[in-house]
Amino acid sequence: MELILFLITAAVAIAGAVAMLISRNAVHSALFLLLNFGAIAVLFLLLRAPFLFAIQLTVYAGAIMVLFLFVVMLLGAEKVEDAPDRIAWQQPLALLLGLALLIVSVVVGLGSATTPPPDGEELIKFSDPRSLGELLFTDYLLPFEITGFILLIAVIGVVVLSQRGRKI
Amino acid sequence: MNQLGFPLLSLILWLPAAGALALLFVPRANAGLARQVSLATMIATFLLSLLLPLRFETNPMQMAVVGAPPVMQFVEEVPWLPIVGATYSLGIDGISLWLVMLTTFLGPIVTLSTWDSVHKDVRNFQILLLILQTAMIGVFVAQDLLLFYLFWEFTLIPMTFLIGIWGSQNRIYAARKFFLYTFAGSVLMLLALIALHILHRDAIAAVEPGFRGTFSFSQFVSDLRAGRLTLDTTTERLLFGAFFLAFAVKVPLWPFHTWLPDAHVEAPTAGSVVLAGVLLKLGGYGMIRYNLTLFPAASQWAAPALAVLAVIGIIYGAAVAFAQSDMKKLVAYSSVSHMGFVVLGIFALNAEGISGALLQMVNHGLSTSALFLMVGVLYERRHTRELAEYGGLWKVMPVFAAFSLLVALSSAGLPGLNGFVGEFTIITGAFRSPLLGWIYVAFAVGGVVLAAAYLLKLFRSVFMGDVSQPANATLPDLNRRELTAFALLSIPIVVIGVYPAFFFAGMQHSVAALVADLIAQAAGS
Amino acid sequence: MELLIWLIPLLPFIGFLLNVFVIRREREAGLVASGVVVAAFVVTLIAVAMLAGMPPEERRIVSTAWEWINTGSFRVPFAIMFDPLTAVMALLITGVGALIHIYSIGYMHGDPRVVRYFAYLNLFVTMMLFLVMANNLLLLFLGWEGVGLCSFLLIGFWFERKSAGEAAVKAFIVNRIGDAAFILAMLAVFTYFGTLNFYGDGEGGQIGFLERVSDIAGLRIGPDWQPIFVSTAISFLLLIGATGKSAQFPLFVWLPDAMAGPTPVSALIHAATMVTGGVYLMARTEALFTASFTTQGWVAWIGAVTALLAGTAAMAQWDIKRVLAYSTVSQLGFMVAACGMGAYVAAIFHLLTHGIFKALLFLAAGSVIHGTHDTQDMRRMGGLKDAMPITFRTYVIGALALAGIVPLAGFWSKDEILAHAISHGHTPIFIILFLTSLLTAFYMGRQVALVFFGTQRDPGYHPHESPAIMTVPLIVLAVGAVIGGVINLPVLHWLTDWLEPVLHEKAGEFNIWLALIATIGAVGTGYLGWWVYTTNAARIKIGGKDPAYRYSGDIWEGMEEAWYLDRLYQRTVVAGFEQLANFLARVFDPQGVDGLVMGIGRFFGGLANGVRALQTGYVRTYALVFTVGVLLVLGVMLWFAR
Amino acid sequence: MVPTSYYILLSAILFTIGVLGVLLRRNAIVVFMSVELMLNAANLALVAFAREQLGVEAQVLVFFVITVAAAEVAVGLALLVAIFRTKRTADVDEVSTLKG
């Protein structure tokens, strides 16, 4: 039962990604990416990480994708790629590399995942957000604060960058 | 062992540097004072270094026990970089004694020659000379491999500036070539140095844990001899090759010599004298001190091949010197030929060969410096180095001609003067050495004939014949300074020729110990 | 006694030092120089007298001053010795040397650098004395090269003249070639005997190698397909050294050119002393030479060939000194041939007599040149016998002695060599030597006729007799030339007995028939030579061809150029070396070796340019490179992780 | 239970698509989105392994990755806007002033 669910979501995720890649219109690709992120969120659920599922949906799908859509709309940069590709050998080489990358990462990935997924008592404890929370605010308190700072700096950066007219 | 109470070697080593420091306070414009201060420091260093041969134990109590490290004298040891085990340790033995004396002896003469040849920015020139002097003495007295390497690289810097700033036409090219060429050679040595350090540290750490490794030369030697540190043949040959390459570039051995003529032609007189007088000896000294002592088996293996290179160098250097029209290039190639003799002597791997090589290094230092002074004297008067420009100077400058004749003959190896004693001992060594046959000697002796050919060609085209160029007719003879410089140089030239026993006695014990080790290793391996 | 023998070489050395550093005026220089050599002659006489006093087998004084070289097992003391052979040579050197010094005072009068001339002359005598008195090969080599140096300085004394400079350099380098072989010989001696000393130093020290020649009897060295005896190898190398110094067949080209130097120099160095160094060396190390039969053959033949070749060349020369130079080479050929045949005493005897009458001839030639205001070309001389009576008479005596006419010294010594040649069955060499002695007589007759008889062809000068200071030595030498033969008359054999402890030779018996034939031959050809050039005197023009040219044509031309040997060497060896040197210096070194080094530099430069092409500026190419990097890392991880 | 290797396979595919997106597309924004996709693929793999090893720290890491990605997008887009304002285009190839 779970396998079927996994397969469906995986298919949706891949389709979303490919569609994002192919679509001419930036807005369409943004929406397809939104679909992809949703699929990944569901996968997180399958992987017993409910908290991450929530975060993925709210932060990624909600905030980041909206920002993308906003910027695309703002710049009106949907139809950009009309001029022929400047670098001739870019296309074929990229495909080739992509393929090679796929093969290599698959081999590395399969090579490492050896132990079967456990279940029962620990799994429940693992998937419980409380354990995540405990860890976050005890051992990893410092990184947590730092990420806070990063966000703050990002905001300041954006404000500075989008200054109109005044030379920095 | 340190016979004297106070650290004499450190004093000699850092006195020139102190002089350079003092020169910083001399106002830039005041050239005269700068020269005086520099000359005073050089003379002081030389007088101080006179203590060395006087208090030197020609046969120290410890006998040349096979396996014991070479017996160093005037030893000083102060921990320098404990984490790596490098110590600031100085010491000299028979091998480095006369080379240190040569360096300190040439110091005042070089400074004396700057009076006429250097006119722009004299103060900095003197500072560089003094720093170079410290670096060179450092190389000979350092008993710690890291310290040795430090001074070895340090000699490059002042020399490159000397050529680069005060040289003639395309001096930048020559300076750059000189620096890169020598530096590339010695980088390999650094690699070998570190490899040796690590190999040694691991070997000893296995026995006594917590051993942080060392760079001290005598420790390496004693461990090698006692078998605590054993190098398999390929590693030993690789290390030998790395060390040898750095020294071969410096010597310069035949295929690695092309930087020498360019460096000499562009260098100012004082620069050339120091370059030929002492810098070339660093290579030779390094070969004896490090290649032969640390890697005896590899030396045995490589000796015949390297002797071939040396002999080619002798003939090749002499032939090319003969064809030169530029005086400095001629003398530069003559150095290639003479140093070929030195390398032949070193790789004869017997007592005569090595002591002959050591003495020949001192002789070459004296006679080639005099030859370069000679070229310098002419260059200052006529500002040209072309042989065709000169002729008939014997009549115009008789005193100068007399000294030049003496120097040319000493360099050609006339018996009774110093060149012959060195060359003859080297040839005897090469002839009797089990590794080299009489064919090497036959060619080397050919080199002796060619040496006479190009030196007499130099002498004839400059001094004989009639005064063809009007400008030559009014050239002034040697002034007081040049006269003292030449006189100072000719005293040892004659003394070594007539009574070399004193010099041989000095190096007797250390060379015997070295040769004993070589034979023991050869028998062992 | 030891102190005394040190005095012999030291006296001229002191004269040299005085002349170099102290004396400035010409008069003092001449007196000091000659005085010092005369003193040395007197001391030698005393030493010889004391030596004669000692019983024959102990006649050897060895004295060591200090340890010259001592490194490892290589010990060479600075030691001299005095034994009958050295005594005889020292007598010749200091005796003839003194006369030449006195003569030089007159000859070199007025030369601006005469002080330096006397300094060089004194240095030469010192070095020559070291050569003959050395007790080991190395000190002998010191003298050997020292003499070479002095000949370089003296030939090139008038260095303004281009020919003098070239001749000096040529002489030194050709000698150096011989010395290279000499060094190799020394090495071989040291390797196989462990010492370079001729004889032990008396106090039970190591006995010299001359007394242990038998040790190396059977030894062979060299490549196994052609093993040669050690003794042959050493003696052959010594032979090459001797040919270099004594101007024998392959290496004699430098002597005729050496005439560019002042005439007393030619008399002292290129007639009496230096060139005899090679013969002395062979006589001193005769134990080595006799030990190897093959080398003896070589020595004899080189001597004979040189004698003949130089004899023919002497006949065709126009320069008065070049005739004597070739004649010296020829007479040296005689001595070397004698050594080759084992007649060492005869060789030394001829060396002594030749030293006297050849010095006489050179000095007389010098006084002719001096009297005719430096003309050396015989075609411009003629009819000088009335203007220069003493020079003429002494010259004739010298000529007769050289030609080997009976009472004079030349006859006895040459006859002894020829007698030895016959009695020991060396007939081919005998024929050559006999023929050469006839040629000698011919060209001496020719020279006397050209110079002193007929009329003065070049009116440009009016000849005058040389001052007393020059003619007195001539007379003394003339007397010597006459009575010189007494040293080793066939019956008395003084010299043979005197040299017996050193050369261990028995006297050969006197061959009356040979003496008769030789004398008749000499007188005949001498008269022929004189007759041809007096009757045809009219046909000799300044700068013209030799009257004999009509009959022989190119042969005469060939003889004048000494069979073009010199030109052959010039074109092959010298030119070849110059081309090689130029090739190496101009082409091989800058492009070849340097090219290699700079090539490496350029190669890396090229590599760098290649990489730069990647910087296109497009972000995407960077991304591409980035991905390639990632792939590589993953690949490596896979490779190691497997 | 779905074996972890399937997740890894999926994340590999997504990652490759992301890379292709970066290499092929010339529209800056799509490139940006591809980068985000690659990030997500990485997160997915991370969580898959987390489940296998029961390592909660992995989740913490993913959490941090997401927050940092957010900051990154903010700054990136601001840059994009600034470039767009001066060059009037979002094409990646136009921006090549730093040519080597």
Q: How confident is the model at residue A47 (pLDDT cuts 50, 70, 90)?
A: confident
* Partners of C71 in the β-ladder: C74
Nearest CA in chain B to C127: B416
Cβ contact, residue pair D98, C617, below 8 Å: yes
Show residues of chain C in contact with A100, CB under 8 Å: 631
Cβ contact, residue pair D80, A26, below 8 Å: no
Show residues of chain B in contact with C597, CB under 8 Å: 181, 258-259
B362 pLDDT more than 90: yes
Mean pLDDT of B482-506: 89
Rounded CA separation C267/C146 (Å): 18
From A109-123, B465-479, D44-58, the region with the lowest mean pLDDT: A109-123
Instruction: Quote the minimal CA–CA distance from C634 to chain A in Å.
Output: 7
Instruction: Quote the minimal CA–CA distance from C620 to chain D in Å.
Output: 6
Q: Is B431 on the interface with C (CB under 8 A)?
A: yes
Q: Does C272 share its domain with C155?
A: yes
Q: Which domains does chain D have, with CATH numbers?
A: 4-90 (1.10.287.3510)
B63 pLDDT more than 60: no
Cα angle: B114, vertex B119, B124; to 5 degrees: 75
Residue with tokens 């106070």: B6
Q: Which pLDDT value is given to residue B104? A: 93
User: Is residue C339 one of the residues assigned to a domain?
Assistant: no
User: Considering C249, C273, C291, which residue would you say is the last residue of a domain?
Assistant: C291
Cβ contact, residue pair D29, A115, below 8 Å: no
C425 pLDDT more than 60: yes
Sequence-ordered strand ranges (E) for C314-449: none
Instruction: Quote the minimal CA–CA distance from A61 to chain D in Å.
Output: 11
Q: Which pLDDT value is given to residue A115? A: 62
Show residues of chain D in contact with C617, CB under 8 Å: 96-100
Mutate to test the interface with A, among D54, D91, D99 (most CBs of A within 10 A): D54
Task: Name every residue whose Cβ is closer than 8 Å to that of residue B270 and which is 6 or more positions away in sequence.
Answer: B110, B111, B113, B114, B117, B118, B125, B129, B162, B376
Q: Which pLDDT value is given to residue A80? A: 56
Per residue in C55-82, pLDDT (tens digit) is 887 888 888 888 887 776 777 888 888 8
**What is the sign of the dihedral through the CA atoms of B389, B391, B395 and B399?**
positive
Q: Which residue in B316, B445, B498 is closest to C180 by CB distance?
A: B445
Q: Is C458 on the interface with B (CB under 8 A)?
A: no
Chains that touch C (3 or more CB pairs under 8 A): A, B, D
Contact (Cβ atoms closer than 8 angstroms) between residue B373 and residue B332: no
C374 CA to centre of own chain: 26
Length of chain B: 525
Cα angle: C68, vertex C72, C78; to 5 degrees: 15
Cβ contact, residue pair C627, D99, below 8 Å: no
Domain ranges of chain B: 8-524
Cβ contact, residue pair A150, D54, below 8 Å: no
Q: Which pLDDT value is given to residue C77? A: 85
Q: Which residue in D19, D97, D100 is closest to C627 by CB distance?
A: D19
Q: Where are the alpha helices (DSSP H) in C206-285?
A: 230-245, 254-257, 263-267, 277-284
Exposure string of C328-343, with b = 16+ CB inside 10 Å and e = fewer, is bbbbbbbbbbbbbbbb
Task: Name every residue whose Cβ is closer than 8 Å to that of residue C210 and which is 6 or more positions away in sequence.
Answer: C198, C199, C284, C285, C287, C288
Show residues of chain A in contact with C637, CB under 8 Å: 108
Q: Does C592 share its domain with C556?
A: no
User: Considering C527, C545, C560, which residue would you say is the last residue of a domain?
Assistant: C560
DSSP codes, B305-342:
HHHHHHHHHHHHHHHHHHT-SBHHHHHHHHHHHHHHHH
Residue type present at position B436? L
Q: Which pLDDT value is given to residue C558? A: 79
| Host domain of residue C616 | 567-641
Mean pLDDT of B416-430: 89
Residue contacts between C and D (CB atoms, under 8 Å)? 29
Q: How confident is the model at residue B308 (pLDDT cuts 50, 70, 90)?
A: very high
Q: How confident is the model at residue B134 (pLDDT cuts 50, 70, 90)?
A: very high
> Bigger pLDDT: C562 or B281?
B281
Q: Which pLDDT value is given to residue A123? A: 67
Residue type present at position B401? A
Q: pLDDT above 70 covers what percent of chain B?
A: 97
Residue type present at position B307? A
Q: Which residue in B255, B319, B460 is closest to C169 by CB distance?
A: B460
Q: Which residue in C615, C620, C624 is closest to D99 by CB distance?
A: C615
Q: Which residue in C616, C619, C623 is closest to D95 by CB distance?
A: C619
**C interface toward A at CB cutoff 8 Å?**
616, 618, 620-621, 624, 627-628, 630-631, 634-635, 637-638, 641
Mean pLDDT of B415-436: 87
C539 pLDDT more than 70: yes
Q: Which pLDDT value is given to residue B138? A: 92
Q: How confident is the model at residue B17 (pLDDT cuts 50, 70, 90)?
A: very high
Rounded CA separation B318/B257 (Å): 13
Residue type present at position C141? F
Q: Does C257 share its domain with C225?
A: yes
C204 pLDDT more than 60: no
Q: Which pLDDT value is given to residue A87? A: 60
Q: Does C264 share its domain with C371?
A: no
Task: State the burial class of residue C609 (Cβ atoms within 10 Å of its Cβ: 0-12, 13-18, 19+).
Answer: exposed
C165 pLDDT more than 80: yes
Q: Does C184 share its domain with C101?
A: yes
Per residue in C9-22, pLDDT (tens digit) is 999 999 999 888 88
The C-alpha R_g of chain C, in whole angstroms, comes to 31
Per residue in A58-112, pLDDT (tens digit) is 888 888 888 888 888 887 766 655 555 556 666 777 778 778 877 877 777 676 6
Rounded CA separation B140/B95 (Å): 9
Cβ contact, residue pair A93, C634, below 8 Å: no
Instruction: Quote the minimal CA–CA distance from B229 to chain C in Å.
Output: 30
Show residues of chain A in contact with D15, CB under 8 Å: 101, 105
3-state helix, strand and coil shares in percent for chain A, rounded to the nearest 5 = 75, 0, 25
Rounded CA separation C252/C254 (Å): 6
User: Three-state SS for C319?
Assistant: strand
Q: Where are the alpha helices (DSSP H) in B413-500?
A: 418-432, 438-463, 470-473, 480-498
Interface pTM, i.e. ipTM: 0.72
User: Considering C533, C560, C587, which residue would you say is the last residue of a domain?
Assistant: C560
Q: Does C14 share its domain with C36?
A: yes
Cα angle: B342, vertex B348, B350; to 5 degrees: 110
DSSP codes, C533-553:
HHHGGGG--TT---TTHHHHT
Q: Which pLDDT value is given to residue A157? A: 86
Q: Does C104 share its domain with C223?
A: yes
Q: Is B428 on the interface with C (CB under 8 A)?
A: yes
User: Is residue C318 one of the residues assigned to a domain?
Assistant: no
User: Is residue C336 one of the residues assigned to a domain?
Assistant: no
| At least 3 CB pairs under 8 A between chains B and A | no
Length of chain A: 168
Q: How confident is the model at residue C273 (pLDDT cuts 50, 70, 90)?
A: confident
Q: Which pLDDT value is given to residue B120? A: 82
From A84-98, C234-248, C556-570, the region with the lowest mean pLDDT: A84-98
Q: Does C617 share its domain with C553?
A: no
Return the HEC string of D22-81: HHHCCEHHHHHHHHHHHHHHHHHHHHHHHHHHCCHHHHHHHHHHHHHHHHHHHHHHHHHH
Instruction: Quote the minimal CA–CA distance from C620 to chain A in Å.
Output: 8
Cα angle: D13, vertex D15, D18; to 5 degrees: 110
Instruction: Quote the minimal CA–CA distance from D84 to chain A in Å.
Output: 8
Q: Which pLDDT value is given to residue A89? A: 65
Residue type present at position D40? N
Q: At what angle do helices D4-24 and A26-46 cross, to 10 degrees?
A: 160
Contact (Cβ atoms closer than 8 angstroms) between residue B102 and residue B366: yes
Q: Does C272 share its domain with C221?
A: yes
C640 pLDDT more than 90: no
Instruction: Quote the minimal CA–CA distance from A44 to chain C in Å.
Output: 26
B181 pLDDT more than 90: no
Mean pLDDT of the residues in chain B: 87
Mean pLDDT of the residues in chain A: 79
Q: Which pLDDT value is given to residue C379? A: 82
Q: Does C281 share its domain with C171?
A: yes
Nearest CA in chain C to D97: C617
Rounded CA separation B99/B106 (Å): 11
Q: Does C145 share its domain with C248?
A: yes
Q: Does C550 share its domain with C572?
A: no
Count of the separate structural domains present in chain C:
3
Task: Count the alpha carbons within 13 Å of C478 in the hemisphere toward its beta carbon.
Answer: 18
Length of chain D: 100
Output the tens digit of pLDDT for each of chain D's 100 residues: 677 778 888 888 888 888 888 887 777 888 888 888 889 898 888 888 887 777 778 888 888 888 888 888 888 888 888 877 777 666 666 666 665 5
B519 CA to centre of own chain: 26
Q: Is B502 on the interface with C (CB under 8 A)?
A: no
Q: Is C627 on the interface with D (CB under 8 A)?
A: yes
Nearest CA in chain C to A105: C634
Mean pLDDT of C569-574: 84
Contact (Cβ atoms closer than 8 angstroms) between residue C336 and residue C302: yes
